């Protein structure tokens, strides 16, 4: 039976523990003292110091969990993963669930909004031209490229690090032709059979997001027996597949796909178990900003009134070692992370 390791028993500082008693998570700002070992329906806790007793498979996962994530050089910009950062969401669509229609018709205004998010502390701007909300209409790739390209071009000229949120190869090609960008695909390069080759030839970084059945769309699927390990195993298989297609594993980022083909209970289980995904050996992105689960837990709060829940989930992600938080409310999230980091820095020195 296969097993999974989830870091647990996080500690404020490694200096009060014996050598080998704690491990550093992905070269970041967190240390942990134990693993939850998941074998099917069985779970047990094993101290970090005893992980070698579980055999070479566990040692290999432990090595991936603790290895620092290599920085990405994207054009003249460097993206480091030793502390949590923010990706600002910039939708140039008429129908996105949160801000659809506000920026679609004027590339100058949209790009200015992206530059403002970067000035507020966003490490990258994620530009999307097609809504992925449930029931959204499919956008022809030519129209999608026309929406995002002029915005991406202006952001790159301004020196902003950009990712393009698309599942279509033609849109990826259009964005990559403008300069170095990250490809963020909600279908993990499965929607368009050309996508993996396009990313590989461009040597571009890619974000692979989980959804249950990408060919049916991001909200398909038939449920889970164990959502945490099933999403993990699916992402692991996708990483191996894109590496086989020629994509550098060091340029792969993973996203568990909160809200995509998952129930409220599934989403909460994934968020509570986020640290498991460090076993994939890749940086982790978390996208929970203004999502439906916040409304479900707060008296059906409408989208515009989900800031508090979005911040709570962002901090939860930081506490699990997530490296990228994809958000609408950049300034507020950056402030929350700065306070969180101040607390971490003070705890580290005792």
Per-residue pLDDT 10s for the chain (350 aa) are 578 999 999 999 998 888 889 999 999 999 999 999 999 889 999 999 999 999 999 999 999 999 999 999 999 999 999 999 999 999 998 755 555 555 557 899 999 999 999 999 999 999 999 987 766 778 889 999 999 999 999 999 999 999 999 999 999 999 999 999 999 999 999 999 999 999 999 999 999 999 998 877 665 666 799 999 999 999 999 999 999 999 999 999 999 999 999 999 999 999 999 999 999 999 999 999 999 999 999 999 999 999 999 999 999 999 999 999 999 999 999 999 999 999 999 988 86
* 28, two tokens: 């970041």
Q: Which of 22, 45, 66 is the last residue of a domain?
A: 66
Range of the domain at 128: 72-348
Q: Are residues 13 and 129 in the same domain?
A: no
Determine the distance from the C-alpha atom of residue 108 to the mean position of all C-alpha atoms in its chain, rounded to a whole number.
Answer: 27
Task: Check residue 297 and report its DSSP letter.
Answer: T
Closest CA to 197 of 161, 247, 239: 247
Q: Tell me the residue length of the chain.
A: 350
Determine the distance from the C-alpha atom of residue 157 to the mean position of all C-alpha atoms in its chain, rounded to a whole number.
Answer: 25
Q: Are residues 91 and 58 in the same domain?
A: no
Q: Are residues 174 and 293 in the same domain?
A: yes
Q: Are residues 24 and 77 in the same domain?
A: no
Q: How far apart are CA 124 and CA 109, in angstroms?
A: 17
The model's pTM: 0.94
Q: Which strands, in side-by-side order, build the sheet including 182-185?
A: 252-255, 206-209, 182-185, 162-165, 124-128, 85-91, 324-327, 285-287
Q: Which of 36, 66, 96 is the last residue of a domain?
A: 66
Q: Are residues 62 and 100 in the same domain?
A: no
Strand partners, 209: 255
Q: How far apart are CA 85 and CA 226, in angstroms?
A: 29
Q: Are residues 159 and 46 in the same domain?
A: no
Q: How far apart are CA 198 and CA 47, in angstroms?
A: 43
Contact call for residues 204 and 180 (beta carbons, < 8 A): yes
Q: Are residues 54 and 78 in the same domain?
A: no
* pLDDT digits 0-9 by tens, 35-68: 999 998 899 999 999 999 999 999 999 999 999 9
Q: Are residues 76 and 118 in the same domain?
A: yes
Q: Are residues 92 and 38 in the same domain?
A: no
Contact call for residues 57 and 92 (beta carbons, < 8 A): no
CATH number at residue 155: 3.20.20.20
Q: How far apart are CA 143 and CA 135, in angstroms?
A: 19
Helices (H) and strands (E) in the chain, counts: 10, 14
The total domain count for the chain is 2
Q: Mind telling me the catalytic residues?
A: 291, 326
Question: Please, which residues have CB within 8 angstroms of residue 215's CB and are 6 or more apart in sequence?
Answer: 187, 190, 191
Strand partners, 164: 127, 183
Contact call for residues 31 and 21 (beta carbons, < 8 A): no
Closest CA to 4 of 49, 52, 60: 60
Q: Using alpha carbons only, how large is the chain's radius of gyration in Å? A: 20
Contact call for residues 271 and 309 (beta carbons, < 8 A): no
* 51, two tokens: 């992980």
Q: Are residues 145 and 207 in the same domain?
A: yes
Q: How far apart are CA 216 and CA 306, in angstroms?
A: 29
Q: Are residues 97 and 14 in the same domain?
A: no
Parallel/antiparallel/unpaired status of strands 182-185 and 162-165: parallel
Q: Which of 66, 82, 98 is the last residue of a domain?
A: 66
Q: Are residues 62 and 92 in the same domain?
A: no
| 244-278 burial: b if 16+ Cβ within 10 Å, else e | eeebbeebbbbbbbbbbbbeeebbbbbbebbbbbb
pLDDT score for 219: 59
* 54, two tokens: 């579980």
CA dihedral of residues 294, 296, 300, 302 (deg, nearest 10): 30
Percent over 70 (pLDDT), the chain: 94
Parallel/antiparallel/unpaired status of strands 72-74 and 77-79: antiparallel
């Amino acid at each position: 039976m296969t097993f999974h390791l989830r870091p647990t028993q996080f500690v404020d500082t490694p200096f009060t523990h014996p050598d080998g008693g704690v491990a550093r998570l992905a070269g970041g700002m967190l240390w942990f003292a134990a693993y939850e070992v998941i074998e099917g329906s069985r779970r047990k806790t094993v101290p970090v110091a005893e992980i070698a007793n579980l055999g070479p498979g566990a040692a290999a996962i432990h090595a991936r969990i603790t290895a620092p994530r290599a920085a990405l050089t994207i054009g003249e910009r460097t993206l480091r993963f030793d502390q949590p950062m923010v990706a600002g969401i910039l939708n140039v669509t008429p129908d996105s669930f949160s801000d659809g229609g506000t920026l679609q018709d004027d590339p100058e205004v949209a790009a200015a909004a992206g530059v403002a998010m970067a000035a507020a502390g966003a490490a990258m701007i994620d530009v999307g031209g097609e809504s992925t909300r449930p029931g959204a209409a499919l956008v022809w790739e030519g129209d999608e490229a026309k929406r995002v390209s002029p915005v991406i071009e202006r952001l790159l000229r301004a020196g902003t690090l950009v990712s393009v949120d698309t599942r279509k190869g033609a849109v990826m090609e259009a964005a990559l032709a403008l300069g170095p960008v990250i490809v963020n695909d909600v279908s993990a390069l499965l929607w368009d059979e050309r996508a993996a080759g396009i990313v590989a030839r461009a040597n571009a970084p890619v974000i692979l997001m989980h959804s249950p059945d990408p060919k049916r769309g991001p909200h398909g699927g038939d449920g889970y027996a164990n959502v945490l390990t099933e999403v993990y195993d699916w992402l692991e298989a996708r990483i191996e597949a894109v590496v086989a297609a020629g994509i550098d594993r060091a340029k792969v980022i993973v996203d568990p796909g909160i809200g995509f083909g998952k129930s409220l209970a599934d989403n909460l289980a994934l968020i509570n178990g986020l640290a498991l995904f460090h076993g994939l050996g890749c940086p982790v992105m978390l996208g929970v900003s203004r999502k439906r689960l916040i409304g479900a837990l707060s008296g059906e709060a409408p989208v515009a009134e989900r800031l508090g829940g979005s911040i709570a989930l962002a901090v939860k992600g930081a506490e699990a070692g997530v490296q990228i938080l994809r958000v609408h409310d950049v300034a507020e999230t950056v402030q929350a992370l700065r306070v969180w980091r101040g607390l971490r820095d003070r705890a580290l020195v005792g």
